Amino acid sequence: MDDLALKQAAVQINTLSGWQEFCMQCRRCSLRRGARGVVFGEGSAQPVIVFVGEGPGAEEDRLGRPFVGAAGRLFDRIIKAGGWTRAEIYIANVIKCRPPGNRSPGREEIQSCLPLLQKQLELLNPRIIVALGAVAAKTLLDDPSLAITRERGRWREIDGRMLMPTFHPAALLRDPRKKRPVWEDIQQVMALCEKISREEGTSLDEEEDSSGGG
Ligand code: SF4
């Protein structure tokens, strides 16, 4: 699939299920040859938050689902602590096919896959994105020199959405000292979620008040 075909599809397809169907056939880069399949992402089709990780590992590739290995189990504990379930949020990765041997994806592979994620984010239209780890943060913020240890915990804005960079759950497995900073970052995300739901609740009440007055 060349860039033109991808652009045309991105214009024509306007549902998440349609985009998923399209992406599942993707062979834009060589990663697809070594993977069992494309791991598209999963969760609510109208999430307030989308979590974006790096790419599928062995378990994710085997099951075709994101964040289901050891790091995924820790991720589940993180979102539970935040008060969310998997059904309420959405989980995706920068790369949709497993790199061989779980190596980090290369720059060209990321650039091949990025338009697929960008369209996915456009369709999901979340208010908040949490970038899990350096690869996700660098890619989404288009900043190859970003240092996750320095930038985590600081809100950024992309395409009208708030983005919180934090450590990847796999980094927490390697270094449990990172658990506290991640919890602090998640608390910031929780606070913004509450603010959004208060604002949306307020605007809903206002609509009800004005419609009930006539
Ligand atoms: S990694 Fe992304 S761009 Fe490469 S084949 Fe898989 S879905 Fe397509």
> What are the structural domain ranges in the chain?
3-199
The amino acid sitting at 112 is S
Residue with structure tokens 């930038």? 151
Q: Which pLDDT does position 212 carry in this prediction?
A: 45
Probe ligand 1: pick from 2, 3, 29, 30, max atoms within 8 Å of CB? 29
119-142 per-position pLDDT tens digit: 999 999 999 999 999 999 999 999
Minimum CA distance residue for ligand 1 atom 4: 29
Q: 134, 120 in Cβ contact below 8 A? A: no
Query: Can you tell me whether residue 52 is helix, strand or coil?
Result: strand
102 DSSP 8-state letter: G
Ligand 1 pocket, CB under 6 A: 23, 26-29, 31-32, 38, 95-97, 112-113, 116
SS3 147: coil
* pLDDT exceeds 90 at position 214: no
Confidence of residue 213 (pLDDT cuts 50, 70, 90): very low
Residue pair 105/99 in contact (Cβ under 8 Å)? The answer is: yes
CA distance 60 to 100: 13
Element spanning 44, H or E = none
Which residue's CA is minimally distant from atom 1 of ligand 1?
97
Q: What is the rounded CA–CA span in Å between residue 152 and residue 184?
A: 10
* Third-level CATH fold of 3-199: Uracil-DNA Glycosylase, subunit E (3.40.470)
Per-residue pLDDT averaged across 97-110, rounded?
94
